[in-house]
Amino acid sequence: MARKKHPVLSPADWKDLPDEELLQLRVRDLGLKIEASPLEPCVQRLYAELDAAGIRFHPPCYLTNEWLCPDKVPMIGIPFYLAHPRLIKLEKKKMLEVEGGTDSSCMKILRHEAGHALNYAYLLFQRTRWRELFGPFSAKYSDFYHPKPYSKRYVVHLEHSYAQSHPDEDFAETFAVWLTPNSRWRERYRGWPALKKLRYVEHLMRQIGSAPPRAAVRQTPWSAARMTSTLAAFYQRKREHLGEEFPGFYDPALQRLFCARAGADSSRKASDLLRQWRRHIVDSVATWTGELKYDIDRLVGKLIRRCDALELYVSSGEVEAVSQVTGFVTAVMNRVTRFAEDQENR
């Protein structure tokens, strides 16, 4: 039996489709390109910033399923949904947030990924001084790291103290801060150990300058043009993969703890209650779990944002509500700890 062929469409063919019909289309058939898309000005801006910094190499950009720079491949992968406003809207609906969905956030991530690409293009990670400042490139990646948000050994660029997750990320973050126009990094990081890294990045960039890259792209990475899954399947896998990092993961629990509308017993917003008792909840959970207050506070922050988004209200006495939330957060932190230990013991 002959295989059914799917026609490659153009955005004009699907941009006005209802969500249920759009979700049935395959990613590869959407006809997406960076050229003439909302991404093109951002990519061109990145290249202009590299030119202004005296860097000749412009990392090629392509559309794929997430933000990435393939391992030791000097290219930048950009999520395909950022190539069209209709898909950005769908991403927001399905995932509740859009990573890189604004010009400013897109540029922050592009600068970070450009740091990876330059690292790979010029094999900077092989240099002795690079390893002395950032650590061994061969260090194992882990989904669980315990950042120190107030450490002055690392720059602050992306969220969650990302520079602390791996030496390669530390370099990419440091490069991004150095490249950002008007970042005033010399003043901002004066007196910080991280300033040594920034100065080293500047020294490296002056060295490579107009030199051609030492590592070339030998093959085209897996891209959106080859994604045979439908948008529906893509989002199902994405939500399952993100698990507790998915912004709506805790919604069912919050809807059990609170109610959807103000009642006779209470008209107080759940998010306001959590903001008032945030420090108490964090301190209590830290006492009984031994987890870092920073990690617990991040979780409570997620719960506050979801309570706002769901417009939840306190349905019982405030003391009882705080007690229930504290127990819930404790249970979550204990589960995260057990999962991390299981991963380390594999």
- Say what the pTM is: 0.80
> How many other C-beta atoms can be found within 10 angstroms of the C-beta atom of residue 33?
18
pLDDT at 175 over 90: yes
Averaged pLDDT for residues 23-37: 96
The token pair that represents 192 in the structure block:
């910080």
pLDDT at 201 over 50: yes
Q: Shortest CA distance to 203 belongs to which of 111, 261, 130?
A: 130
Band of residue 346 on the pLDDT scale cut at 50, 70, 90: very low
pLDDT at 4 over 80: no
Averaged pLDDT for residues 115-140: 96
Q: Which amino acid is at 285?
A: V
Residue pLDDT, tens place only, 283-331: 999 998 888 787 888 899 999 999 999 999 998 788 999 999 999 999 9
Residue pLDDT, tens place only, 214-235: 987 777 777 899 999 999 999 9
Domain boundaries, the chain: 11-226, 250-341
pLDDT at 186 over 50: yes
Planar angle of CA 301, 101, 84, nearest 5 degrees: 145
Averaged pLDDT for residues 49-59: 96
pLDDT at 63 over 60: yes
Under DSSP, is residue 79 helix (H, G, I), strand (E, B) or coil? Answer: strand
Cα–chain center distance at 28: 24
pLDDT at 13 over 80: yes
Band of residue 247 on the pLDDT scale cut at 50, 70, 90: confident
Band of residue 262 on the pLDDT scale cut at 50, 70, 90: low
* DSSP assignment string, 318-346: HHHHHHHHHHHHHHHHHHHHHHHHHHHT-
> How many other C-beta atoms can be found within 10 angstroms of the C-beta atom of residue 229?
14
φ and ψ at residue 95, rounded to 5 degrees: -110, -5
Residues β-bridged to residue 209: none
Q: Shortest CA distance to 22 belongs to which of 9, 35, 33?
A: 9
pLDDT at 156 over 80: yes
Tell me the pLDDT of the chain averaged across its residues. 89
Least confident span in 8-12, 134-138, 225-229, 335-339: 335-339
